[in-house]
Amino acid sequence: MTTNMSLSKEIADALCTIIVLGYSADINRVRFEYNQDEDKAEYENVQTKFKKLGVEITVGKSEEKSHFPLIVGETGSVEMFGNEQAKVELSEVHKFANILEKAAEKGKGTQKFSGAYVGGFAAIGTVDIIGASDLSLYEGKYRTQDLDKVQKSYQQAKKVSNAVIEAITSYFGGKVGAVKINGIQIRNSYMNEKVTADYKRGHLFKSYHGMIKAMTTFMTGFNRTQNFFFEIALTSDTSKVSSCFPCATFMRVHKNPPTSTHLGRGDNWSIPDGADYLKKPWEKSIIEWYNKGMKIINQHDSKTEVIEKWQEFVDTFQPKIEDKNIPEIFLESLTFEGSFTEKINMTLKK
């Protein structure tokens, strides 16, 4: 394969910006939430830039983790927490989250648990814990630069995922089983295995977040009036109780929008293999949001220098980039780490 340009951070960030713009235009006054006051200005900058393009978003501060350490998919069962059974299940998951938090804090030692979101699935009388992000290595098609940075990121992500699995396994007595909290069975039988693969030079990696692992594991038997998906923000190192933007897109496509969405990092996010029936509708929506975002930019004659570089990449890359390639390029773009506020504000900087 030959190409005139490689996917760079600037080009990748431009694509991410275009998709967020299209997504925001598609959802009336979508809300993005920050959890630290110091991030407020960055979110308001995004809000201002989008408004100039005719797209209204709202921004605000998310729920304090100390009040509610969970991200929940808002299905019919939990919408506004009006379902009594959902209230009971949520209450017990909340209690379990607090117990697991204490156990993890006690056992983590010097290991930082930044980004440790533990996915799970709640049904009537049972809660299944999936674990933190699972990882897999792959060879990229579009990115060929700065690959030396990937190794360090992979090794850190592997450490965190495995440390979280150890903490959960330890809580369950080192074995597969269940604990009962007020009559609700909390099980670890579907939990991720530890990440064992060593980094391969020149590779990128996919990170399957806890929420997405839960959805791809349990969606076939999902009853949206009785079940819900959730993530636990584990330990003091993980403070956001909001879904990353890539998770939010996947959740919304499958009518399971998160209780909160942030514009922080969604580094290396991806969808597990074997879930094509869930991935294909997501790909269709990503293409639609991309086209909507590009249409808005063209209508407002707002092609910044960075957007122009994205357009040059599309025009010169061989084999020719078509709409069907956009979701794949978006996933590879997420291997350039950084917050979405940074990506958007730099891309739309005049």
Domains of the chain, residue spans: 1-62+260-350, 63-241
State residue 80's pLDDT score.
Answer: 43
DSSP code at position 78: T
3-state secondary structure of 236: coil
- Residue 1, pLDDT score: 42
Predicted confidence at residue 215, as pLDDT, reads: 96
Q: Residue 85: what pLDDT?
A: 61
Edge-to-edge strand ranges of the sheet holding 117-123:
70-72, 228-233, 117-123, 126-131, 184-187, 178-181
pLDDT value of position 69: 76
Burial 241-279 (b: 16+ CB within 10 A, else e): bbbbbbbbbbbbbbebbbbbbbbbbbbbbbbbeebeebb
pLDDT at residue 93 in the model: 78
Q: What are phi and psi of 32, to 5 degrees?
A: -120, 140
- Residues of the chain short of pLDDT 50, as ranges, are 1-3, 80-81
Contact partners, residue 183, CB within 8 Å, separation at least 6: 125
What token pair was written down for 163?
């440390």
SS3 31: strand
User: What confidence score (pLDDT) does residue 306 get?
Assistant: 95
Rg (CA), the chain: 20
Neighbouring residues of 295: CB distance < 8 A, sequence distance ≥ 6? none
Report the distance separating Cα 350 and Cα 300, nearest Å.
Answer: 13
Q: In whole angstroms, give the CA distance from residue 275 to residue 216.
A: 6
- Contact indicator for 101, 117 with CB cutoff of 8 Å: no
pLDDT at 266: 95
- pTM of the full predicted structure? 0.93
Q: What is the pLDDT of residue 106?
A: 64
Q: What are phi and psi of 119, to 5 degrees?
A: -80, 155
pLDDT value at residue 168: 86
